Chain A
Amino acid sequence: MKAERELALGLAFISPILIGFSVFTIYPMVASLYYSFCSYDVLSPPRWIGLGNFRELLTDPLYRKALWNTVSFTVFAVPVTIVTALALAMLLNLKLRGQALYRTIFFLPSIVPIVASSVLWLWLLNKDYGLINFALRPVLGLLNTTFGLSLEAPGWLTSPEYAKPALVLMAAWGVGGSMILYLAALGDVPKQLYEAADIDGAGAWHKARHVTLPMISPVLFFTLIMGLITTFQYFAQPMVLWPNGAPGDSGLFYALYLFQNAFIYLRMGYASAQAWILFLVIVVITVFVFRGTRRFVYYGGEA
């Protein structure tokens, strides 16, 4: 009797999340799975078309372009941001005067709203008047005169070849979030291990490679997985940088094309099919990463 009452009470207490999860997560997921097999424009009832949407995806060049953009961007952006964040965290972990100040400064970009920072980068990346090229131009000029080259400052946002490097640059600037995680992990590496390594005569490199990296590997792993997932869903920055579409569709990312189909062209079924493929891609990659990195991740709590 008492157990039943407690169960009921317990369920009542967690009912907000139960209801919320069912209504706002499970139902939409199931519904979108159903819609992915339908022609559905939101305004009238969905009509079953079987695999029609998936078949169309196979032959849609824009879809392929969006998928390619997203995959290639992920391949570059995720490692670059992890390395940048880790390097920053290691530097900021040095016991220096003003450590807290430096940490704050490097964390600041991540509290700037995405739209605001994107607008800022719009200026920084300007070909003729942006600060990035302002810094780059003397270097290029020197290279040109010394080696007789004719390098030009890149049009970061105006030429398709430089669109993704520009976005990677932006991503590397906003790594404060994972930097904080690494700082916490670095602070958690037991001192004895470094002492032991010192006694064994290990240098800075060997300590980093054989003590620090293994000890923070769970956090690295976590940021890798999260980075993959969020980068596959990359949306806001290209939307702000190129409101009318990037040159050569270079800014057409998966989530952006999905959004266009769902909410602008009102092809909700087609967009649902895209969403499910994205979901499967992320699941497969995550499983793959889990399997592939198992050997390299060390959990202190494991036997």
Chain B
Amino acid sequence: MGVRSARPGGDFSKAPRPRGAWIARNPAVPWQGHACYTPAMRKSLIFMRNSLVALGAIGLVAFLVFARPGGLSGDDGRTRIQLWHPWGGPMLEAYQRNIDAFNAARDDVAVRGLYVPNDMSSNQKFFTAVIGNCAPDVIFVDGPQVAEWAERGLLLPLDDLLREAGYDVEQLRSEFYAPCWEQCVYRGNVWALTFCADPNFCFFWNKNAIRSGIAAGDIDAAVVDPERPPATVAELDAWNRAVTKARQTSTGPQLERLGLVPWGVYGNANSIFTWGVAFGGSFYRDDPQAPRVTANDPRNVAALDWMAQYARQYGYGRISSLQSSFGSAEQNPFILGKQVIQLGHLSMIADLEQYAPDLEVGMSPIPQGPGGEPNPAWVGGWTLAIPAGVTDPVRRRAALDFILWSCASNEGTSLEVRTSRNLPAWRPSPFFAEVRARQDEPRMRRLVPFLDILETSRYQRPVMPAQARYMDELSRAVDRVVRGDTNPATGRPWTAEEALREATQRTQRHLDLMLERSRGQR
């Protein structure tokens, strides 16, 4: 309330000057003179100044107390290398145990891990680090990104380094699951090794929800047998028809229970890619002279047509409003029995264990589409690579050793599973024998269908640059078709063929521009 008591215009020149009040030191300069400041103003100015000084002092002390000489120099003779990894949050500590184990096993190398996430849409930090010549020595790269980063000259090819280190590249190749190796090979070179294999996806169904639906008489037991999953897309359609349930409200029908929403497979882009493969489609033809984007392969078109058919049948708006009412974890509509069928990622196992330990679920391969093969799952996953610009051979070697230890050693791959619950991409890992030996545990049993995918799958995302653009365009095409948007060119709703053709053209253009640029530079 000090401000109120001040009387502007009063004579304050006789007031005792507060100690250290330099603000009011010079009476010759009018705006610094005593007369301009009421005691209250002066007080608050002094308070502000003192606060600043105090803050500065605290900052300095904190800096001196907490700042430690960091950096990569050590006096213990170890080669210190830096690793950027994407494992943050609760995963950070778990992943750090991998780094610690490597450091404990080696007395000549020390890895320092830093959480610097990157994905298709946030790799700016890494790019600027490479240009600025301060890239790390090892980096995690999302599998589908490897080709683009290689094409843009951001990574070192590993072939010669592997050979120099005494590895037989062909031998190593045979030890990795095929898609995990293939996603790292671009233009004849190996650019990375796969750290964790992501088998995408398994077909999950909620047995409890289906059984109670049958008991309540709103699911036809003649169509849906909770012990016998659909093997083909046609059988899946029958399941979907049988399990979908709607309720009338004053503002129209509202869906209460759904089957498998075809575009609900971890986003539009993953959905069309997964169903495209299930229908036998291909997305890219890797011709070194003229690589072709083939999103509009007739089988992909058939897959998108099928997805759109589902949207028309049950109403896109109703489906999406049901879906948007739920989230992840315990809010997962699958766990709540609102969406009784789902294509699930490996992480479903941990989610089920944590949020619905008593839920009975069935697991089987993705149903086979017309024109496709049985179990049409594909494999992705994080890889480890060495950024371009790591020129010191000692550091290169240290980086390569860390990569090999992480991705292709008994100790590294076993630890990986225990700390972060990822699956190794390396066949000889002792973990796989362990899974088969511990089939009495539900978690281990549920892993088997995913391991089957690793054994049999021949598919990964197309190994090509422009992947981020491709996924965006695929996502747009799915959105247009399943929602029934109007194509401005024809005045009618987008057909699957039109939408995928446009996705093809736009991605192809982007790809050509990028290749022309990077080839022109060489």
Chain B's interface size range is 35 or more
Shortest CB–CB separation between residue A232 and chain B, in angstroms? 23
Q: Is B158 interfacial (CB-CB < 8 Å)?
A: no
Q: Are A128 and B322 in contact, CB atoms less than 8 angstroms apart?
A: yes
A119-143: which have CB < 8 Å to B?
Answer: 126-129, 137, 140-141
Q: Are A126 and B324 in contact, CB atoms less than 8 angstroms apart?
A: yes
| Contacts A44-B518, A245-B479; A155 near B321 (Cβ below 8 A) | yes
Q: Is A157 interfacial (CB-CB < 8 Å)?
A: yes
B321-340: which have CB < 8 Å to A?
Answer: 321-322, 324-325
Shortest CB–CB separation between residue A142 and chain B, in angstroms? 9
A145 to B251, CA, bound (A): 10
Interchain pairs with CB closer than 8 A, number: 89
7 cross-chain pairs, A with B, having the tightest CB-CB distances, nearest first: A127-B321, A141-B250, A158-B320, A264-B121, A128-B321, A129-B325, A152-B251
Q: Is A248 interfacial (CB-CB < 8 Å)?
A: yes
| Contacts A39-B517, A43-B130, A248-B485; A158 near B252 (Cβ below 8 A) | no
Interface code A163-205, partner B: CB below 8 Å = 1, 0 otherwise?
Answer: 0000000000000000000000000000000000000000000
User: Considering only CB atoms, which chain A residue lies closest to B488 in the complex?
Assistant: A61
Q: Is A263 interfacial (CB-CB < 8 Å)?
A: yes
Q: List 14 A-B contacts (CB under 8 A).
A: A42-B128, A43-B152, A44-B517, A127-B321, A141-B250, A144-B250, A144-B251, A155-B320, A159-B317, A160-B485, A245-B476, A263-B124, A265-B469, A265-B510
Query: Chain A CB within 10 Å — which of B121, B267, B324, B517 has the most?
Result: B324
Q: Is B61 interfacial (CB-CB < 8 Å)?
A: no
DSSP majority for the B interface? helix
Q: Are A43 and B131 in contact, CB atoms less than 8 angstroms apart?
A: yes
Q: Are B317 and A155 in contact, CB atoms less than 8 angstroms apart?
A: yes
Q: Is B41 interfacial (CB-CB < 8 Å)?
A: no
A266 to B521, CA, bound (A): 16
Q: Which residues on the A side are within 8 Å of B322 (C-beta)? A: 128
Q: Which residues on the A side are within 8 Å of B488 (C-beta)? A: 61
Q: Are B317 and A137 in contact, CB atoms less than 8 angstroms apart?
A: no
Q: Is A153 interfacial (CB-CB < 8 Å)?
A: yes
Q: Is B458 interfacial (CB-CB < 8 Å)?
A: no
Q: Is B18 interfacial (CB-CB < 8 Å)?
A: no
Q: Are B251 and A153 in contact, CB atoms less than 8 angstroms apart?
A: yes
User: Considering only CB atoms, which chain B residue lies closest to A153 in the complex?
Assistant: B251
| Contacts A159-B317, A265-B510; A127 near B324 (Cβ below 8 A) | yes
Q: Which residues on the B side are within 8 Å of A145 (C-beta)? A: 250
Q: Which residues on the B side are within 8 Å of A160 (C-beta)? A: 483, 485
Q: Are B121 and A39 in contact, CB atoms less than 8 angstroms apart?
A: no
A122 to B428, CA, bound (A): 46
Shortest CB–CB separation between residue B29 and chain A, in angstroms? 15
Q: Are B152 and A245 in contact, CB atoms less than 8 angstroms apart?
A: no
Q: Are A150 and B252 in contact, CB atoms less than 8 angstroms apart?
A: yes
